[in-house]
Amino acid sequence: MGYQTYRYDGDVHRNDKKTHREWDSASIAKNQRRSREIRFMELILDILNYSLTAILIGVSMTWVFLIKSMMDSVRLTPYLDKFERKKHNNPKVSIILPARNEEEFIGKCLDSLIEQDYTNYEVIVIDDSSDDATGKIISEYAKKNSKIIPVSAQIKPDGWMGKNWACMEGYKHATGDLLLFTDADTKHSQNVISLAVSHLLSFNLDALSVIPKMRVIDFWTRITLPMISTFLHTRFSAIRVNDPSKKTAYFFGSFFIIKQKTYETVGMHEGVKHEIIEDGALGKKVKESGHRMKIVRGDHLIEAVWARDKSTLWNALKRLMIPLYLQSEKIAIGSFFAVLFLLFMPFPILAYSILGVIKTTSFSILFAASFVASIMIYIGAVIEDF
């Protein structure tokens, strides 16, 4: 009986050792699996981080190209007030100023226009069915200054887009040989009409448009304007407009002056009544018709508001995108997402990379790439401000 108990106890002892070995083996296998899983996750993160890094390098290179193109465009675009003046007469200028619900800006605009040092001009201000005090303000200014001619636009006919109808209503009252179109939220320096007329006649141009300084009011415009401005300077550079061999052509709606005969020849605003971006369409018709046109810098002489809040910003973006969409749906959608991608992508990646910047090499490299890309966006914003 003792022998059997002894063997039984030995079996228990041997079984316990076997169980411990099995536990140890299972624990080792478990740790190995966990270690493999961790290494696999680290590999996935490395692949993700290096992929994002490669994308960000592409984003940064794109920004370098865009910023360089913008700087070249800004540097090579001539100034409104820097040219060799030639003697000329002082033809009458009819300023055509459409206004719809502009009670906040119309007064400052008119103040800047009635204080011009050019003498032979008139200001035709069109109240385009405003719902606020715009019409009243126009009437009050007209009573105080004989240069101001108030016009109440008739109801817009079907098929007319934007401010085209108001511009045509104003043109009916114009008596000048030169027509200057501007916007109600624009402010002009005292000598800007004199400079525009002299520049136009000295270079024997048919039309001249001036790039204003874009005044930023709200937060969202401040964020998006740098990218939009950089894109426009790259794709629609004033250098290309000023080159007769290039097809690129447009006007800045905030300020362009055109000979009355040229305006009638290209069909006036009636010829682009269905266009959402009427300034661009009219400029294109002028160049396609063989007339001489030019764009110059005047950001130290003219200020304009591109957007005032999220609503007007969205409308402005739609005005840019819809004509492109009508030409090519794929290009329009691709351009929209490309702009969002270039403008916003680096920032969430930068925040993500900070979480692991001291843990792995891939996170450190990703942090550096996202930081550089973010800096490039900032540089674009700074260049736009200057």
- The per-residue pLDDT for range 220-250, each reduced to its tens digit, is 767 677 667 766 666 678 899 999 999 889 9
* Per-residue buried b or exposed e for 133-166, using 16+ beta carbons within 10 Å of the residue's own CB: ebbebbeebbeeeebbbbbebeebeeebbbbbbb
The answer to whether 199 and 292 are in contact (CB under 8 A) is: no
Two tokens at 76? Answer: 């090579």
Decide which of 318 and 208 is more confident: 208
The answer to whether 207 and 291 are in contact (CB under 8 A) is: yes
Q: Looking at residue 13, what is its pLDDT?
A: 53
Residue 345 CB neighbour total at 10 angstroms = 18
How far CA 384 is from CA of 71, 180, 231, 379, in Å, comes to: 10, 26, 11, 9
What residue type is 259 in one-letter code?
K
Which strands sit side by side in the sheet containing 121-127, from one edge to the other? 148-152, 121-127, 93-99, 178-182, 255-259, 207-211, 293-297
Q: Of 31-35, 46-50, 126-130, 160-164, give the lowest mean pLDDT range.
A: 31-35
Predicted confidence (pLDDT) per residue in 63-82, tens digit: 888 888 888 888 889 999 99
Q: Looking at residue 330, what is its pLDDT?
A: 72
What residue type is 206 in one-letter code?
D
Separation of alpha carbons 257 and 53, rounded Å? 48
- Strand, helix or coil at 303? strand
For 32-96, the DSSP string reads HHHHHHHHHHHHHHHHHHHHHHHHHHHHHHHHHHHHHHHHHHHHHSPBTT-S---------EEEE
Q: Is the pLDDT of residue 5 over 60?
A: no
Give percent of the chain above pLDDT 90.
54
Phi/psi zone of residue 290: left (φ > 0), alpha (ψ -120 to 50 degrees), beta? left
Q: At what angle do helices 329-344 and 346-354 cross, to 10 degrees?
A: 40
User: Please, which pLDDT band fits residue 11 given cuts at 50, 70 and 90?
Assistant: low
Which strands sit side by side in the sheet containing 213-215, from one edge to the other? 187-188, 302-305, 213-215
The answer to whether 250 and 241 are in contact (CB under 8 A) is: yes
User: Please, which pLDDT band fits residue 381 given cuts at 50, 70 and 90?
Assistant: low
Separation of alpha carbons 335 and 348, rounded Å? 21
Q: Is the pLDDT of residue 62 over 70?
A: yes
Q: Which residues contact 257 (CB under 8 A, 6 or more apart)?
A: 93, 178, 179, 180, 181, 196, 197, 200, 207, 208, 209
Question: Between β-strands 187-188 and 93-99, what pairing exists: parallel, antiparallel or unpaired?
Answer: unpaired
Q: Looking at residue 377, what is its pLDDT?
A: 81
Residue 61 CB neighbour total at 10 angstroms = 12
Predicted confidence (pLDDT) per residue in 305-350, tens digit: 876 777 766 676 666 665 555 556 676 677 777 777 887 889 999 9
- Strand, helix or coil at 176? coil
Q: Mean per-residue pLDDT for 104-114?
A: 96
- Strand, helix or coil at 190? coil
Helices and strands of the chain, counted as H and E runs: 13, 10
Q: Mean per-residue pLDDT for 286-296?
A: 96
How far CA 34 is from CA of 37, 39, 133, 359, in Å, comes to: 5, 9, 72, 19
- Strand, helix or coil at 182? strand
Q: Looking at residue 376, what is its pLDDT?
A: 86
Q: What is the mean pLDDT of the chain?
A: 86
Q: Mean per-residue pLDDT for 256-261?
A: 98
191: closest CA among 298, 297, 104? 298
Two tokens at 201? Answer: 């006649």
User: Please, which pLDDT band fits residue 3 given cuts at 50, 70 and 90?
Assistant: very low
The model carries a pTM of 0.79
User: Please, which pLDDT band fits residue 283 given cuts at 50, 70 and 90?
Assistant: very high
Two tokens at 308? Answer: 């005032």
Domains of the chain (ranges plus CATH)?
Answer: 80-215+238-306 (3.90.550.10)
